[in-house]
Structure 1
Amino acid sequence: MAEAAILFAVESLGNLLIEKVDFLGDVEEQVRWVKRELQRMQGFLKDANEKQAKNEIVRKWISEIRELAQDAEDVIETFILEIDNPRRRRGLLGRCACFPSHVYHLNKLGNEINLIKAQLEDIKKSRDTYKIEHIQGSFKRSYAAEQRKLSPWQRNKHLVGLDEDVKLLLERAILGEREGLSIASIIGMGGIGKSTLARAVYNHAEVAHRFDRRAWMVVSEQFDLTETIKELVLQLLEPNENKQEVLQTMKNFSEQQLKSILRDRLEGRRYFIVVDDVWRQQDWESLATAFPDEQDTSTRFLVTSRVQNIPRRARYVHEMKTLDPDKSWELLLKVAFDGNTCPRELEDIGREILTKCKGLPLAITVVGGLLLEQRQSRIGWEKVLQELNSHFEISGSSRIQSILELSYHDLPPHLKSCFLCLSFFKEDASIRASKLVYIWIAEGLISQEGEMTMEDISRSYLDELINRNMVRVKDLKKDGRVKSCQIHDLLHELSIRKAKEEINFEILKDRGNNTPQSLGYKPRHCAIYGSTESYNIFSTRGVNKHIRSLFFHGGGRDDVDCCPPYKWKSFRLLRVLDMEGLGLRKLPDTIVELVGLRYLGLRDNALEELPRSISRLKNLQVLDVFANYEIEVPNVIWEMDSLRHIYTFGFNREVPLKMDALKNIQTLKRIRGSKLMHRHLT
């Protein structure tokens, strides 16, 4: 499906026509024509999406329109950066001096728009040949989102049929009187509820009372021992300890030093630790060496895995079973009717839909989210059943994957685009809601509507994804808003697969895990997983002027700076750069060449200063340097008039910062008032 790509392009064209119309001259009407045609294409895509599964030619047509939409977005963004940034830097005389350059770039834009128009005409002709019809549709606010306003999310609201499982685990593995080490495991297929059961045990009142220390860690396929130990240590802090200071202390510790810190915090104490989503026996074994092995102290581990016999030393193995028909129905009622009864006229079709879920809790909750959107309409429920049957017929994937595919297919275009961005994060990551919201805005997915801020609109989109059970709440703020969220690993796999298809997303890990690039392939979003080899792959690739977002995950340190300066300079269209937790001591100088950058994530590094040239990032909306202790911030922030959110953790300045030009600022996190020049604040 190409809705996401077209939505991106239409947003860019719309912004150009609204904000830069004075610069367009004779090209304005051509830009409007392209925007209108792309908007009309969205109606035809609805029909094409229904036909593509059975028709290779239609799939190719969708791919062509997706590529064209992305190229149109590149052309528009490049034009804006070429004419706008020099004007914002040089003042009145500079703007006059820019006039010849403006004429050149306007002429270039006209030529490129004409090429896009010609391609669009060809696509329109082939559309008629393939008999792709226009289906009228309009965006309707999610019914689930409206329901969200009436009732807050409840923890364990989808907990069904686990009472006996919890009881067995407590009696046979967790609360027994036996001293010393005891390991239990929960095994079962993806989506069957292993983590949900483990969480119910973890939160049980008797468990909290019995053990001095509890911790929960996710291992997942991308296991990193040092990062896992750091996370464990942070969960085991004493109430009077400062989390940021401990994190800073551990920043450059070796693996053995980290293990020593962990043992010191656990020795002589009764502790219970959940190790969630273990994929390989060797991962468990390397982690197990970090814990003290004391025979006279009660120590309990609860491990979840899709794989049998992990860990091999488990004294008790609990194999998850699917829900029986009655429990499946109870769960569906909780999701689709908030625990109320089902209208009699819907019960027969509801139970037929349930047979497709085969008792898998994840499948039931996702289908329940689909049914909730139908407002108890029998026609709507029949449509869901028909689509389920259709997906099962044409899909070569498993039943649960087919259901998840349908849940994505059912999302409106704006939520599809937001869902695809979840692929940028690591598997099982705890995602800060504020970070996710800012990234959606930086990617250009959010438009201002009435009096609502873009941040408020973004949060409403997050609410919708949560109510559709595509995203789950991890923590709430005191005011009831989402503080952090997670995505189930099967849904994360879906987001990656769709992002690769629709927005040219690429993941770099190491040479053994990367797919060779085909000729003409243009990655527009990239996640790089922390190893020197993966950074080398990235740095030795050819110049990619199409890249829009770049995420570095784990490790790295100075490896990031191995990227040659000319390559950073080529990333003019880059909007999002996330280098959180890399251990950076110095920001690569050439980052200031990223004139299109809107989000710069530098949280949890070891940076000592920001360069004065950072003021050249005129489009930057979010500057996050939190947990870079006593960082030197130059007194040029006030020149960055697009800034909306600044996160820091104290900074060195004898002279207070001027902030008078920051008309859009909404967040100043951890900046003491004495560090600001108050008379400049507006």
Structure 2
Amino acid sequence: MAAAAYAAVISVRRVLEDFLHPARHWILLDTQHFRSLLQKVFSFQHFLEDYDALPVTSKSEAEDGVEGQLAKACYAVEDIIESFVSDQILASPNLQALDMILTRFSQDFPKVLQDVDFIEKKVVKIKGKMGVVKDQQPVNSLPVAGLSRRLAPVASNTMAGLDSHLFQMKKRLVGDEPKLQMVSIVGMGGIDKTTLARTVYDNPMIVQNFEIRAWVTISQEYNMREILLALLHVTETLFGDRKQEDSANNFANFVFLGVCPPELEKVGKQIAKSCKGLPLALVVIGGLLAKSQRTIVQWKYVAENLTSIINLGNEEQCLKILSLSYSHLPLHLKPCFLYMAIFPEDFEIRISKLIKLWIAEGFVNPTVTRSLEDIAMEYLGELIDRNLLIVSQRGILGNVKSCIIHNLLRDLRLREAPKREFPLYNKVCEYNWSSSQLAPFSKLLRVLNVQDNYSPEKIMLLVNSRYLHFAGNWPVNSRLTSSVSLLWNRETIIVRDCPRIILPSEIWEMTQLRHLEFQDIVLPEPPQQFGHVGLQHSYILENLCSLSTPRNFKFIEEVLKRIPNIKKMKITYRDDVECSESSYCIENLARLTKLESLTLRVYWIKSIPTECFSLPHSLKKLTLSGCRLPWKDTTIVGSLPKLEILKLEYDAFQGLEWNPSDREFARLKFLLIEAPDLEYWGVESTHFPSLEYLVLDDVDLKQLPWVLQKFTRFDLLNCTSLRNPFLNSVEQIKEERESLGYEELQVEVSCRWEW
């Protein structure tokens, strides 16, 4: 019940916040009641979070029933608001129809509010009981800062003043001392203790001498139970049978981080034996006991119940164990976990799509300081850490590109969703549904992800949908109407297989837009706006994260103000007799200070003037094509401090020689070069210190720069259309690297690099 209630509360919260946005001036209602309702929704959210954290023994069936009532009430509020907005938009400007819609809403909405008020009274009573329960909790389980999923900090490139300490640390760690040692680094804050520790941890000598290393970060305030639980989840990656003695030892380590207390040793061995050597069972049961009272009575109770699970058939046994894992998920992860059942069996899920869907469904709890995408990625990481999702593909930077679900976990989701009254399919359309089948659901449809073609007219009927992903197959220069701005909470529009589309200027009024992705769009300049009282104003698309692919996009002042948080852009420039290069204001790109990924393709005959080419320092990934800049101007790119992926496609730069400057491309890991006229590449030891992957496609280099044999991180070369002398130089570099003890250079010779 908790997952359904929490999902409903978070979802209706977002609906109300969208409804109350200043851009909704066309909604014909007094907003005071909705503001009051939003405060109640906030209260419900806090109640569910607190209630879920209580021990199971402190809850009752009657109280659990309130969660189901709360979910239904929130969905009812959501449906009536979205139905009203949909009816108003579709009926406008028919005044008689609008009057009927308002009358019907004024009759139905108070009934829903009565249900909310009734549930609120129940929640207040439960909160009173919860206060007593909280007061009775032991001191060592107070909710202080727990163990969060944090990456090990990245050490700086300099170790000024710490060289002697580094030498002493390495000497102690790889010395001949036979006994176990604990080496502490102590001192006041800010003296680079963490930098020293990280440098030692990553040192090649340490890596070579220690087969197993682990980096753990624990805050000054911590919760012992949370630490134990986090350690238990790490062990879930272990699979295979274990001997009885190993099971008992592992069990003790899981629960106590050491030796089992004498009074619990006998029953502990009984529990470990019941797990039949299955590491997953040991982890789950250990997690239960780590969070329960460590008494003989409690442990015997668990042992008896465990026997009933272990004696089931293999598949049923696994599902029961996995169900225990689900029940211990944090509340905010449960809706995301159950939602995964919408994907077909053995389906490879693109993470970029999954994140958009979670957000569209309202599962991601918004905060003021972080974007929904960042929060959703954190949710994803937590599910992966718990082995509830399996990573199937990673990107060049180690980021997760796609994942799959184990069939048993999918079965668990399908089993748990109806049991928890989680509305799995009421707002999600199956992949093989046609547009005609969707017609009856169009008014309240939230997510549309189909292979069918959709016309611009059909789009306007999906008033309340947040996520649209479909095939367009429209004629060239088709237009969306100005009424597109009335799609009040549209967040994602992705249209495939569609030639050039002309968007209306009203697209700039869609303040909830997060992702706008077309094959080729003409995006007009933002108009001057006038509100319903005649006051001039403009809307900021502060949620817009990705935009592709506008043609001949102008980075004028008015545009820059509208997209302050854009992170990903794909843009093209084609022959335009009406405009010169300077009119596109490409130099203003540098002012998009949150832009992380940029694809810029130019199809002009002449080159971009150097003075018109400027890039933001926030870029991590850059693809250039057709810019026709001289190689000496790569300094503009090489000076980007965060750049990690660079693709220089055809005619990005031109000339026979490329001589990079010192200390450029400091963090670059991936480099692709497509340059048929490039004959000499003057790489030196101070260039490209982080380079790992190099792709040379259709270049005329005589040889691979010899200095690359000293690049310790360089381990993959892909090349096409190269001469034998070049390939001979590659073999020589491979042999030299092997003689130096570096990791073997992987060389791939192919027709075309697929990325």
Contact kept? 1:644, 1:666, Cα under 8 Å: yes
Aligned residue in 2 for 1:469: 387
Q: Deviations over 1:257-302 (max 9, x none)?
A: xxxxxxxxxxxxxxxxxxxxxxxxxxxxxxxxxxxxxxxxxxxxxx
Higher RCO (CA 8 Å, separation ≥ 6 residues)? 1
Unaligned runs of 5+ in 1: 53-57, 152-319, 505-523, 527-546
Q: 1:664 to 1:342 in 2, by over 3 A?
A: same
Q: How far does the alpha carbon of each residue in 1:205-226 deviate from its partner, in whole angstroms, 9 at most, with x for none?
A: xxxxxxxxxxxxxxxxxxxxxx
Distance (whole Å) between structure 2 residues aligned to residue 435 and residue 117 of structure 1:
37
Asked if 2 retains the 8 angstrom alpha-carbon contact of 1:366 and 1:468, the reply is no
Amino acid at match of 1:76: V
Q: Which residue of 1 aligns with 2:105?
A: 105
What is the TM-score when the length of structure 2 is the normalising length?
0.47
* Gaps in structure 2 of 5+ consecutive residues: 21-28, 155-238, 528-537, 561-755
Q: Which residue of 2 aligns with 1:448?
A: 366
Letter in 1 for 2:497: N
Contact 1:12 1:76 in 2 (8 A): no
For 1:490, give the aligned amino acid: L
Q: What are the superposed Cα offsets for residues 600-659 of structure 1, whole Å, 9 maximum, x if unpaired?
A: 2227x756668546544221112223x5253635335334221112233x3264x75769
CA distances 1:220-266 after superposition (whole Å, capped 9, x unpaired): xxxxxxxxxxxxxxxxxxxxxxxxxxxxxxxxxxxxxxxxxxxxxxx
Deviations 1:580-611 (A, max 9, x none): xx2x23348444323221122227x7566685
**Separation of aligned partners in 2, 1:485 and 1:83:** 38
- Confirm whether residue 3 of structure 1 aligns to residue 2 of structure 2: yes
Q: Give the Cα–Cα distance (whole angstroms) in 2 for the partners of residues 139 and 412 of structure 1.
A: 17
Aligned partners of 1:47 and 1:134 also within 8 Å? no
Query: CA contact under 8 A between 1:420 and 1:495: conserved in structure 2?
Result: yes
CA distance in 2 between partners of 1:679 and 1:133 (Å): 54
1:642-661 to 2 correspondence within 5 Å? 642-648=512-518, 650-651=519-520, 653=522, 661=539
1:674 has 2:544 as partner: no
Query: 2:71 matched to which residue of 1?
Result: 70
Which residue identity lines up with residue 560 of structure 1 in the other structure? S
Alpha-carbon spacing, 1:123–1:417, altered in 2? closer, same or farther (3 Å): same
The Cα of 1:102 is off from its aligned counterpart by: 5.8
Deviation at 1:3, TM superposition (A): 0.9
Whether 1:560 and 2:459 are equivalent positions in the alignment is: no
Q: Distance in 2 between matches of 1:357 and 1:413?
A: 27
Q: Which residue of 2 aligns with 1:578?
A: 449
Task: Give the TM-score of the pair, scaled to structure 1.
Answer: 0.52
Aligned to 2:424: 525
Higher mean alpha-carbon deviation, 436-445 vs 99-108, is at: 99-108
Deviation at 1:462, TM superposition (A): 1.3
Q: Secondary structure at the match of 1:455?
A: helix
Asked if 2 retains the 8 angstrom alpha-carbon contact of 1:645 and 1:666, the reply is: yes
Q: Note the alpha carbon deviations across 1:67-109, whole angstroms, 9 max, x for none.
A: 4223322332245436667899999x999x9899668635532
Task: Indicate the residue corresponding to 1:399 in structure 2.
Answer: 317
Pick the aligned partner of 2:412 from 488, 494, 515.
Answer: 494
Secondary structure of 1:681's counterpart equals helix
In 2, Cα distance between equivalents of 1:365 and 1:404: 11
Q: Equivalent residue for 2:149?
A: 146
Instruction: Determine helix, strand or coil for the equivalent of 2:552.
Output: helix
Sort the Cα spacing of 1:94 and 1:416 in 2 relative to 1 into closer, same or farther, 3 A.
same
Query: Counterparts of 2:525 and 2:89 in 1: how far apart (Å)?
Result: 21
Using the TM superposition, give the Cα deviation of residue 560 of structure 1 relative to its aligned residue in structure 2, in angstroms: 0.3
Q: How far apart are the structure 2 equivalents of 1:415 and 1:381?
A: 32
Superposed CA offset, 1:187-209 (max 9, x none) = xxxxxxxxxxxxxxxxxxxxxxx
CA distance in 1, matches of 2:299, 2:386: 14
Seen in structure 2, the aligned counterparts of structure 1 residues 329 and 76 have a Cα distance that, compared at 3 Å, is same
C-alpha spacing 1:32/1:90, structure 2 compared with 1 (3 Å): same
1:664 is paired with a residue whose SS is coil
Aligned to 1:81: 82
CA gap 1:6/1:465 in 2 versus in 1, 3 angstroms? same
Q: Which amino acid aligns with 2:114?
A: N
Shift of 1:503: 3.9
CA distance in 1, matches of 2:342, 2:119: 31
CA deviation profile, 1:143-202 (whole Å, cap 9, x unmatched): 664355569xxxxxxxxxxxxxxxxxxxxxxxxxxxxxxxxxxxxxxxxxxxxxxxxxxx
Q: Distance in 2 between matches of 1:439 and 1:641?
A: 18
- Number of the residue aligned with 1:597: 465
Equivalent runs, 1:414-433 vs 2, <5 Å:
414-433=332-351
Task: Identify the range of structure 1 (142-151 vs 419-428) with the bigger mean alpha-carbon deviation.
Answer: 142-151
Aligned to 1:624: 494
Q: What corresponds to 1:411 in structure 2?
A: 329
Aligned pair partner of 2:428 in 550, 563, 577: 550
1:58-457 → structure 2 map (5 Å cutoff): 61=62, 64-81=65-82, 105-106=105-106, 108-118=108-118, 136=134, 145-149=148-152, 322-325=241-244, 342-345=257-260, 354-360=272-278, 362-363=280-281, 370=287, 390=305, 393=308, 398-457=316-375
Instruction: Name the CA shift for 1:135/1:84 in 2 (closer, same or farther; >3 Å).
Output: farther
Amino acid at match of 2:515: H
Q: In the alignment, which residue of structure 1 is the partner of 2:503? A: 634
Kept in 1, the 8 Å contact 2:248–2:269? The answer is yes
Distance in 2 separating the partners of 1:615 and 1:385: 63
Larger radius of gyration: 2
Task: Describe the superposition over 1:397-418 as per-residue Cα deviations: whole angstroms up to 9, x where unpaired.
Answer: 7332221111111112111121
Cα separation, 2, equivalents of 1:454 and 1:640: 17
Q: Which amino acid aligns with 2:401?
A: K
Deviation of the 1:490 alpha carbon: 0.9
Q: Which amino acid is 2:10 matched to?
A: E
Residues 658 and 676 in structure 1, CA contact (< 8 A), matched pair in contact too = no
Q: Is the 8 A contact 2:345 2:410 kept in 1?
A: yes
Superposed CA deviations along residues 522-546 of structure 1, whole A, max 9, x for unmatched, are xx432xxxxxxxxxxxxxxxxxxxx
- Give the aligned length: 442
Structure 2 distance, partners of 1:493, 1:24, is 43
* Aligned-residue offset at 1:117: 3.6
Q: Contact 1:82 / 1:105 at 8 angstroms: preserved in 2? A: no
Letter in 1 for 2:468: L
CA distance in 1, matches of 2:557, 2:37: 47
Distance across 1 between alignment mates of 2:353 and 2:300:
36
Change beyond 3 A, Cα 1:19–1:587: closer
Q: Quick one: which of 534, 542, 545 aligns to 1:664?
A: 542
Residues 357 and 399 in structure 1, CA contact (< 8 A), matched pair in contact too: no
Secondary structure at the aligned position of 2:448 is classed as strand
Contact 1:48/1:62, CA 8 A, preserved across alignment: no
Residues 48 and 132 in structure 1, CA contact (< 8 A), matched pair in contact too: no
1:441-499, CA deviations, whole angstroms, 9 ceiling, x for partnerless residues? Answer: 21222232242211111111111111122222222233333222222111111111111
Structure 1 residues 390 and 576, CA gap change in structure 2 (3 angstroms): farther
Percent sequence identity over aligned pairs: 23
